[in-house]
């Protein structure tokens, strides 16, 4: 049986429902990663382990999605909501329940499920796939410090506690727009070119971070870093999907990529925690 034709409809009710549903899942992600009130070392340990399991689960979740459609997200989502509610943050838990409920209704696979092998080991034979995997791994090794510590950095540079908390919100807000705008440009220049541009600019902005020492520049950094790192994050799955000859294995390919990324999330925050323990 030949694989379905690899076409991607632009728009339509079903397409937008999937988009909104996926957005609701990401909304849950941002809620659960606001670890305010913890020390820097605790944020490093808790956050890195949490994201490790979040990304690492993709190695199983991707193939399961290809085999069983979007219903595979139901059980883990409800377990996550239950866990948040049981830790006394019930308001967040009910917000998550509402957004994930919409995701349950909106996310649907376009193609019939595949029934053959669970993993796709032939991906390891594709040189472009492996090269991109190594590149994205290195990008993620260096990107999480700026996501974990903008609040701490602001407090160390005369920013008030109340203002420093908003730096995280500003960064996440800029990331939302950074996920949208590159998606428009990518149709003209391709996902790999756009990913390269976003990654280079993100790196340059990160190098400039140490020169930011007052409120205005720190907020400017949060906006720029949030915008371009958001583009880098959203473009990575699109880049990997280009290596799939069969649309029925796209989630498996992306899941394997997330498993590799999960290892990177353990490296960067732990190095940062060690540095902070030595200098703060």
pLDDT digits (tens, 9 = 90+) for 43-87: 667 777 877 887 888 788 777 877 777 777 777 777 777 777 777
pLDDT digits (tens, 9 = 90+) for 103-126: 777 776 676 777 777 777 777 788
Q: Which residues have C-beta within 8 Å of that of residue 6, sequence separation ≥ 6?
A: 244, 245, 246, 247
Residue 31: band (very low, low, confident or very high) from pLDDT cuts 50, 70, 90: very low
Mean pLDDT across the chain: 76
Residue 30: band (very low, low, confident or very high) from pLDDT cuts 50, 70, 90: very low
Residue 33: band (very low, low, confident or very high) from pLDDT cuts 50, 70, 90: very low
For residue 182, the tally of other CB atoms under 10 A from its CB is: 23
For residue 251, the tally of other CB atoms under 10 A from its CB is: 23
- The larger pLDDT score, comparing residue 34 to residue 90, is at 90
Residue 201: band (very low, low, confident or very high) from pLDDT cuts 50, 70, 90: very high
**Res 178: pLDDT:** 87
State the average pLDDT over residues 179-201: 87
Categorise residue 115: left if φ over 0, alpha if ψ from -120 to 50, beta otherwise: alpha
pLDDT digits (tens, 9 = 90+) for 130-157: 888 888 888 888 777 777 777 777 877 7
pTM: 0.73
**Res 32: pLDDT:** 43
Residue 26: band (very low, low, confident or very high) from pLDDT cuts 50, 70, 90: low
**Res 4: pLDDT:** 52
CA-derived radius of gyration, the chain: 19
Share of the chain above pLDDT 90, in %: 5
- The larger pLDDT score, comparing residue 12 to residue 164, is at 164
**Res 227: pLDDT:** 92
List C-alpha distances in Å: 211 to 32, 191, 236.
Answer: 30, 31, 29
Q: How far apart are CA 61 and CA 45, in angstroms?
A: 24
DSSP type of residue 111: S
| pLDDT over 80 (residue 184) | yes
**Res 197: pLDDT:** 92
Do residues 218 and 192 touch, judged by C-beta distance below 8 A?
Answer: no
pLDDT digits (tens, 9 = 90+) for 208-254: 888 888 888 899 999 999 999 888 888 888 888 788 777 777 778 88
């Amino acid at each position: 049986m030949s694989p379905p034709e690899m076409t991607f409809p632009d728009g339509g009710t079903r397409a937008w429902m999937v988009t909104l549903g996926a957005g609701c899942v990401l909304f849950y992600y941002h809620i659960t990663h606001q670890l305010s009130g913890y020390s820097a070392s605790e944020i490093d340990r808790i956050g890195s382990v949490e994201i490790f399991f979040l990304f690492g689960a993709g190695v199983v979740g991707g193939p399961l999605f290809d085999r069983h459609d979007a219903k595979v997200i139901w059980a883990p989502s409800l377990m996550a909501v239950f866990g948040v509610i049981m830790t006394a943050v019930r308001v967040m838990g009910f917000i998550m329940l509402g957004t994930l409920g919409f995701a349950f209704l909106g996310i649907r696979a376009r193609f019939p499920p595949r029934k053959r092998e669970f993993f796709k080991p032939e991906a390891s034979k594709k040189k472009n796939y492996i090269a991109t995997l190594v590149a994205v791994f290195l990008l993620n090794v260096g990107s999480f410090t700026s996501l974990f510590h903008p609040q701490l950095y602001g407090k160390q540079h005369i920013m008030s506690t109340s203002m420093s908390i908003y730096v995280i919100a500003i960064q996440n807000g800029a990331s939302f727009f950074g996920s949208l705008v590159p998606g428009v440009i990518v149709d003209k220049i391709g996902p790999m070119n756009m990913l390269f541009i976003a990654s280079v600019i993100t790196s340059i902005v990160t190098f400039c971070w140490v020169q930011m020492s007052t409120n205005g520049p720190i907020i400017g950094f949060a906006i720029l870093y949030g915008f371009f790192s958001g583009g880098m994050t959203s473009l990575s799955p699109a880049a990997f999907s280009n290596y799939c000859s069969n649309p029925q294995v796209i989630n498996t390919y992306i899941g394997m990529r997330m498993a590799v990324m999960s290892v990177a999330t353990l490296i960067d925050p732990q190095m940062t925690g060690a540095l902070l323990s030595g200098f703060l």
